[in-house]
Structure 1
Amino acid sequence: MKNSRLKNLGPGILVAAAFIGPGTITACTLAGVSFGYSLLWALLFSVLATMSLQEMAARLGLVTGKGLADAVKEGVSNSGLRTFALVLIISAILVGNAAYEAGNIGGATLGLASIFGNSYVLFFPWVIGIAAFLLLWFGNYKLLERVFVGLIFLMSIAFVVTAILTKPDFSELLNGLFVPNISSESLLTIIALVGTTIVPYNLFLHASLVNEKWNGVSHLKSARWDTLISIAIGGVVSMAIIISASAIDTTDVNGADDLAKGLEPLFGAWANYFMGIGLFAAGLTSSITAPLAAAYVAKSCFGWDKGLKDWRFRMVWVSILLIGVLFLTLKIKPIEVIKFAQVANGILLPLIAFILLWMVNKTSVMASNKNSMIQNTFGILILLLTLFLGAKSIAKVFGLF
């Protein structure tokens, strides 16, 4: 039974790979260095919330046979509100993913530099970009699935082994996992941990990908297990990064690329290889999923009927991938674009969480597969959290927080 479930891993693994990108590694690193194990509870809650929302998105996708943007178009009757929602979705996902793609490629580049040195660092972004391009252009869903399972395996081994070697204190670890600890100093880090785990574009990606692997409601159980197991694996990897960073004595660690340096006293030269593999896998997976998600959103919003090989679909992800490589190669800092993306995502996440919650409660859409009372209770709690996070994210961009 367990083997069959592991063989069924697919869309969920792509979602897990998408949220464990350089941004997540950086947020987890800073959380571990600054607060030790005390913010593990925030990550645990984020993982459970992600499981809940992604399960709803996957269920909606299988029941309707359509993407999440299609559900927005059909579910919002007011034309003005529908247009606003679609414009916001396109802005946040397409523009936002293009802005953040440089960071994804940059993370994979740092991983290669840790393994092979800095002699060819100028060429690494193009190596990553070409690898992502070839996988997306010539690959199909099954190939992408296998590649992502392999990369997640590499990532898991790299970070989990690193965490085990730090010999964590299990009593403190359990306390950090199950006893919430919030202070004014840790609030921004908590927001970062939640914000890099619950990702709006993953909801669109998941609702579309389940229809690439399965067909119809008869596969709901498989899709649910795929979601739970995959997101759990992603959560373990993220927690392993916090545990690894907690072992660093110095606080002079500002991001993911500094984590290997901080762990050198513990592991010597091996730290570079473990971190290099993890960073490369995390950066490459996000470099592929971000353009892919943007293309699925465009496909759903504009009503393109064809699949992965459609030229319009391809032009969307090619454009985002190319923008990411150029931003990184030319050392362009798209600060204003990223700020816009943060504001758009701050509005989009609670909006999409609300629409998703609303749609999976409509009997006309979901029939007998609509939400249970327990799912709705947790869903409302997540919605309130996303509203809080969205407000804080927007306030931060405008310097109000």
Structure 2
Amino acid sequence: MTTKSFRFGPATLVTAAFIGPGTVITASLAGANYGYALVWALLFSVFATMVLQEMAARLGIVTGRGLGENLRTLVSAPLLRWPLLLLVVAAIVVGNSAYQAGNISGAALGAEAIFSGVTFIQHWYSSTGIKFWPLVLGLLAATVLWFGRYKWIERCLIGLVLLMSLAFIATMILTRPDILALVKGAFWPQIPAGAMLTVVALIGTTVVPYSLFLHAASAAQKWPQADIDTRSALAASRADIAVAIPLGGLISIAIVSTAAIAFFGSGQQLDNVSQLAQSLTPLFGTAATWSLAVGLMAAGLSSAITAPLAAAYALTGIMGKPLDLKQPLFRLTWLAIICIGVLLSSLGIRPLNVIWFAQVANGILLPLMCICLLLAMNHKVLGAYKNNRRQNVLGALVLLVSLLLSGRSLALAFALL
């Protein structure tokens, strides 16, 4: 296997995971309410994601195991191991089940905008009371995962990420951004009045714990130790991260820019992404609206594939099962999450209690996963590939940010009580 020419790899799955409906909504609100002022927060989130994902990928490549499997060996004391593993299962599996409804609903929103004139779909909903697109999109996600071949899944997600990139960046170009304001927002950090929670939300939609499980396991499968030497695999992985993660950041910046042009300073309030799409038509024509709809559909569908995939990697790894995409527990996990997401989305149910629990669990899990990852990256099993001082300092900085994100998630969750 050669690594001389660059190819997209597992880092693209991470981009597909964090550019979902939640990121689209958060970035849209940031642009609409604060213009370009918070672009710097997106740049920082890209940096933090690259730091953590490089460690996760290195762990998977060197050990040949996912993060879940490494956690089993890292925490040997049963009194610590089982509470930690149960928390991971609760946050990743249960949490992704709740968020899957949002992923599918977001993709359905984009699909409805694209195919709004199809009478069959309108007749379906009026006669059954069940939304059409969540069923179709859930079936697409299940089809991609059912084949159980990593390369096939990776190629599908690369295609969706490239489609997202073209759609959102084209929308930004069509809306003619203020380049000077964008550059100032990127390199002159400021927090306007009332923007602190939005800053934390922008970082929190990018730096997510389940991407660590996704990246470690997928890197171990992409570059198996029997097929490629470790140094070559690590070089390929770092090149992959250096392209794919910043590409995700560029998509987020494009969304911020589009919302800023359409809403910032207009006196209008942005309540949802549909409103953003509608506002673009009279200003910039149908091309911008269509681009936004295509991007939203691709973002929702990519996250609808990666969320169940990450949950399956996490659960099977924690249970000590091999990284086999056709393994029964692996398939059962992602299938259950897709079914829950389709059910909640197609019936229009908002799983408030489950989402509340997921936010609490994720709020605790993110800094905990950062600590566990740093401990794992300094373990003797990595040998010469352990963290150096610079990597530990950067990891500690991201840990501090994760504590801030944790506080925000917990505060938001308890505010729902």
TM-score of the two chains, using structure 2 as the length reference: 0.92
Q: Is 1:202 paired with 2:222?
A: no
Residues 32 and 244, structure 1, Cα contact 8 Å, conserved in 2: yes
Measure how far apart 1:83 and its partner are: 1.1
- Structure 2 counterpart of 1:220, one-letter code: L
The 5 A counterparts of 1:174-213 are 174-213=183-222
* Contact 1:111–1:277 under 8 Å retained in 2: yes
| 8 Å contact kept, 1:115–1:272 | no
Matched residues in 1 for 2:323 and 2:37: separation?
A: 48
Q: Write the distance in 2 (CA, Å) between the matches of 1:145 and 1:71.
A: 23
Match for residue 86 of structure 1? 85
Aligned to 1:30: 29
Deviations 1:76-109 (A, max 9, x none): 2332111111011000000000000000001110
Which amino acid counterpart does residue 209 of structure 1 have in structure 2? S
User: 1:393 is matched with which residue?
Assistant: 409
Which ranges in structure 2 are unaligned for 5 or more consecutive residues? 123-130
Contact 1:158/1:278 (8 A) holds in 2: yes
2:289 aligns to what? Answer: 272
Q: CA deviation at 1:310?
A: 1.1
Matches for 1:56-75 after TM superposition, within 5 Å = 56-75=55-74
For residue 6 of structure 1, what is the amino acid of its counterpart?
Answer: F
Q: d(CA) in 1 for partners of 2:349 and 2:34?
A: 32
Q: 1:306 to 1:227 in 2, by over 3 A?
A: closer
Task: Give 1:76-225 correspondences, 5 Å limit.
Answer: 76-117=75-116, 119=119, 120=121, 122-216=131-225, 217-218=230-231, 219-225=233-239
Aligned to 1:335: 352
Once residues 257 and 223 of structure 1 are traced to their aligned partners in structure 2, the CA distance between those partners, rounded to angstroms, is 37
Residue identity opposite 1:399 in structure 2: A
Q: Tell me the CA shift for residue 400 of structure 1.
A: 9.5
Match of 2:45 in 1: 46
2:240 aligns with 226
d(CA) in 2 for partners of 1:183, 1:172: 15
Deviations 1:307-351 (A, max 9, x none): 011121101100000000000112211001001100100000000
CA distance in 2: counterparts of 1:393 and 1:104, whole angstroms:
19
CA contact (8 A) 1:361 1:370 kept: yes
Measured in 2, the distance between the counterparts of 1:306 and 1:375 equals 27
Distance 1:209 1:333, change over 3 A: same
Aligned amino acid, residue 321 of structure 1: I
Amino acid at match of 2:6: L
Q: CA separation in 2, counterparts of 1:284 and 1:53?
A: 24
1:309 maps onto 2:326 in alignment: yes
Q: Aligned ranges for residues 3-18 of structure 1 at < 5 Å?
A: 4-7=4-7, 9-18=8-17
The aligned residue for residue 259 of structure 1 is 276
Given that residues 5 and 225 in structure 1 are in contact (C-alpha distance below 8 angstroms), is that contact kept between their aligned partners in structure 2? Answer: no
2:379 maps to 1:379:
no
Matched letter for residue 14 of structure 2: V
Matched residue of 1:304: which SS? coil
Asked if structure 1 preserves the Cα contact closer than 8 Å seen for 2:92 and 2:311, the reply is yes
The partner residue of 1:286 within 270, 295, 303 is 303
Q: Amino acid of the residue matched to residue 398 of structure 1?
A: F
Matched-pair contact (CA < 8 Å) for 2:148–2:326: no
Residue 361 of structure 2 corresponds to residue 347 of structure 1: no
**Hey, which bits of structure 1, 4+ residues long, moved more than 3 A?**
3-6
Q: Is 117-126 or 83-92 further displaced after alignment? A: 117-126
Aligned AA for 2:181? E
User: What displacement does 1:139 show?
Assistant: 4.7
Residue matched to 2:384: 368
Q: Residue type of the partner of 1:284?
A: L
Range with bigger deviation, 232-241 or 244-253: 244-253
Q: Matched residue of 1:135: which SS?
A: helix
Instruction: Please tell me whether the aligned partners of residues 174 and 288 of structure 2 are also in contact (alpha carbons under 8 angstroms).
Output: no
Instruction: Quote how far apart the aligned CAs of 1:257 are.
Output: 2.6
Instruction: Summarize the Cα distance change of 1:132–1:248 in structure 2 as closer, same or farther, 3 Å threshold.
Output: same
1:385 maps to a residue whose letter is V
Query: Which is further off, 242-251 or 43-52?
Result: 242-251
Give yes or no for contact 2:37–2:192 (8 Å, CA) kept in 1. Answer: no
How many angstroms apart in 2 are the aligned matches of 1:136 and 1:400?
34
CA distance 1:5–1:355, change in 2 (3 Å): farther
| Residue identity opposite 1:224 in structure 2 | R
CA distance in 2, matches of 1:5, 1:385: 35
RMSD: 1.6
Residues 197-239 of structure 1, C-alpha deviations (whole Å, 9 max, x = no match) = 0011000000000111102323111011111211011111111
Letter in 1 for 2:341: G
Distance in 2 separating the partners of 1:199 and 1:45? 14
- Is contact 2:71-2:318 (8 Å) kept? no
Distance 1:342 1:400, change over 3 A: closer
Query: Which has the larger displacement, 150-159 or 176-185?
Result: 176-185
